[in-house]
Amino acid sequence: MMPPAKRKSPAKISSPGPADAPARLPEGFQLITGALSPADQKALLSKINDVILSAPLFQPRMPRTGQPFSVKMTNCGPLGWVSDKERGYRYQPNHLETGHPWPPIPEPLLDLWRAHANCTGLPEACLINHYPAGAKMGSHRDQDEHEPRAPVLSVSLGDEAVFHVGGPKRSDPKVRVTLRSGDVCLLAGPSRFAYHGIDRILPGTSDLIPGGGRINLTLRRVTPFG
Ligand code: MD3
Ligand code: FE
């Protein structure tokens, strides 16, 4: 999951042109635009800011190379996703730097999961990605979770992002979608295993976060349903 922005050979993102067959969104991909009202976005951001106060954003690093991500991260929930040079990508119950347990997932996020995930179990991890202007996330698949029946639910806050999603192979055609503040994205079925990433953040497109930038929240089930 989640290589940093700078890649040796950047994936070519091709928008479908008139001569090409239009690339299709993978099966199971659902974008719910405007799922959160501006008031709901403000209330959620305030809870996320509380999480960040007790579990500070950290800069994950690539396994082996130690190359830092341009995205900063933290987590809430029983498990959190981390990565460092020595031990690589993994979920763990404690903050990478403070060693404290992650704070609980705020209730409004669990409500979104109950409303949209169509899943009996609850999420165990909420990964909080913070993108300053200029941050990217290279094309990758999310493969560190062990319950393929659970979807991933993502919430976008702040500046708009150009997102791409393809298929199960890196070479599959990619579609670009703009993710806006208040949008919820559901990745179920085959789309759950599709390559995806963030090409760029569009600065000045939202007033939600003072100073700009984007926050993405992903709710995930990590361990198999009992
Ligand atoms: C498509 N985050 O945290 S969220 C990630 O905006 C990640 O921060 C991006 O990719 C972000 O791993 C995209 C939407 C998303 C999340 C998981 C997916 C799209 C996905 C898993 C499979 C396919
Ligand atoms: Fe991902």
Nearest CA to ligand 1 atom 8: 216
**pLDDT 10s digits, 159-213:** 999 999 999 999 999 999 999 999 999 999 999 999 999 999 999 999 999 999 9
**Given the CA of residue 131, which atom of ligand 1 is nearest to it?**
8
Confidence category of residue 214, pLDDT binned at 50, 70, 90: very high
**Residue 1 C-alpha to ligand 2 middle, in angstroms?**
6
Nearest CA to ligand 1 atom 10: 197
What is the structure's pLDDT at 19? 63
What is the structure's pLDDT at 2? 53
How far apart are alpha carbons 21 and 219 in whole angstroms? 33
Q: Which residue has the higher pLDDT, 19 or 136?
A: 136
Pocket of ligand 1 (CB under 6 A): 1-2, 127, 129, 137, 142, 152, 154, 161, 163, 165, 185, 187, 191-192, 194, 196, 198, 216, 218
**Residue 86 C-alpha to ligand 1 middle, in angstroms?**
24
Q: What percent of the chain lies above the pLDDT cut of 70?
A: 91
What is the structure's pLDDT at 10? 45
**Given the CA of residue 193, which atom of ligand 1 is nearest to it?**
22
**Phi, psi torsion values for 23, nearest 5 degrees:** -65, 145
- As a whole number, the mean pLDDT across the chain is 93
Confidence category of residue 23, pLDDT binned at 50, 70, 90: confident
Report the range of poorest mean pLDDT among 18-22, 120-124, 194-198. 18-22
CB 102 within 8 A of CB 78: yes
Strand partners, 90: 82
**pLDDT 10s digits, 29-85:** 999 999 999 999 999 999 999 999 999 999 999 999 999 999 999 999 999 999 999
40 CB burial (10 A radius; 0-12, 13-18, 19+): middle
What is the structure's pLDDT at 22? 72
How far apart are alpha carbons 216 and 200 in whole angstroms? 13
- Residues with Cβ–ion distance below 5 A, ligand 2: 142
What is the structure's pLDDT at 7? 45
Domain 29-220 part of CATH 3.30.930.10: no
**Given the CA of residue 140, which atom of ligand 1 is nearest to it?**
10
Ligand showing the shortest atom-to-Cα distance for residue 81: 1
Return the closest-CA partner of residue 109 out of 159, 156, 165, 179.
156
- pTM here? 0.92
